[in-house]
Amino acid sequence: MEETYLLNVEGVRKKILHGGQGELPKLQDGSKITFHFQTLKDDFERTVIDDSREAGIPMEIIVGKMFKLEIWETLLSSMRTGEVAEFWCDAIHTGMYALVSRGMRRIAEGRDPLEGQKHRCGMGNMFDYHSTGYDDLDELQRTPQPLIFIMELFRVEEPSAYKRDTWAMSKEEKLAAVPVLHSEGNRLVLRKEFAQAAAKYQEAVICLRNLQAKEKPWEEGWLKLERLVTPLVLNYCQCQLELGEYYEVLEHTTELLQKHKDNAKAYFKRAKAHAAVWNEREAREDFLRVAHLDPSMAAAVKKELKQLGERMRKKHVEDRKRYQGLFQPPRG
């Protein structure tokens, strides 16, 4: 195994463990790199810090999307498809590793990688944390040190060769994707494929929320995006009603009504969800609010209230019979 030095990269050494195939990939902004990695300490035991194979899912990064550990793009750009290589990186390149690893571990655990993170740059967030929540990463954060990365490159895909995740899209791509996703959701609703339709509406909402995060709340740019978000959220909630996910509907309609207190359609969907989970008082209050806000929906409200009354009377009769049976002494 011949040790080579990466050109123009100070503090990095590379050792090829298994040769790859073809030419070096030509990376461009938006290229997706798929690989496995193992991170080790540069100590006698070569202590393993992280290993993507334990999660069973290869790592993916998008070139040019400000991945916090910039050196990884440089390392991967020196590899051929199928190659396995070991890189020694000095502390000048590994100072952000604790934060990067924290995010990757939280994703693997099914948690939000940004939970509790303040809206600041990565380095600023590092100083905000008292702890990453992981003892070994806290040690790395306190004492930056050289690390060893063992990487296996699987493939490099050009931007046009794969379906891009929402977070990897540019502002223009997100705005262009929203009406397409909205239309696809509507088409799936007509086919009564409500779970798939909900996923389309949800993806469109995520696109818009990402753009909203860069706007000042309640100013014109933010409001323009909010006007696009609202019907998508309502469509998503209708799908969830059809799927019987009533508490999901309660959560999203309540969040929507905190911003838009006069949205009759949101009250109507929340009322139906309340009725489905036997919250009679809350359902009646929301239905009556709908009739007050939008008289054109009065007939639909009257029908829903009638059905609610019939369901509640039937439930009371069934409950009474059930409880009477509990307190009657056994015969014989």
- Name the pTM for this structure: 0.54
Q: How far is CA 40 from the centre of its chain?
A: 29
Are 34 and 154 in contact by the 8 Å Cβ rule? The answer is: yes
Tell me the fold of 12-157: Chitinase A; domain 3 (3.10.50)
Q: How far is CA 111 from the centre of its chain?
A: 9
Q: Give the residue range(s) of CATH 1.25.40.10 domains in the chain.
A: 171-317
What is the C-alpha to C-alpha distance for residues 152 and 217, in angstroms, rounded to an integer? 44
Each residue's pLDDT, cut to its tens digit, for the chain (332 residues) gives 455 666 678 899 999 999 999 888 888 877 889 999 999 999 999 999 999 998 778 888 888 765 678 899 889 999 999 999 999 999 999 988 988 888 888 877 765 444 544 433 443 443 444 577 888 899 988 888 999 999 999 999 887 655 566 656 778 878 888 998 999 999 999 999 999 999 999 989 988 998 898 899 899 999 999 999 999 999 999 999 999 999 999 999 999 999 999 999 999 999 999 999 999 999 999 999 999 999 999 999 999 999 999 988 888 887 777 776 665 566 65
- The 10 Å Cβ neighbour count of residue 204 is 28
What is the C-alpha to C-alpha distance for residues 86 and 329, in angstroms, rounded to an integer? 77
SS3 288: helix
Q: Nearest to residue 39, comparing CAs of 81, 113, 98?
A: 98
Q: Cα-flanking dihedrals φ and ψ of residue 16, to 5°?
A: -85, 120
Which architecture characterizes domain 171-317 according to CATH? Alpha Horseshoe (1.25)
Q: Give the residue range(s) of CATH 3.10.50.40 domains in the chain.
A: 12-157
SS3 307: helix
Tell me the β-bridge partners of 147. Answer: 41, 89
DSSP label at 131?
-
What is the C-alpha to C-alpha distance for residues 73 and 57, in angstroms, rounded to an integer? 19
Residue keyed to tokens 């996923």: 199
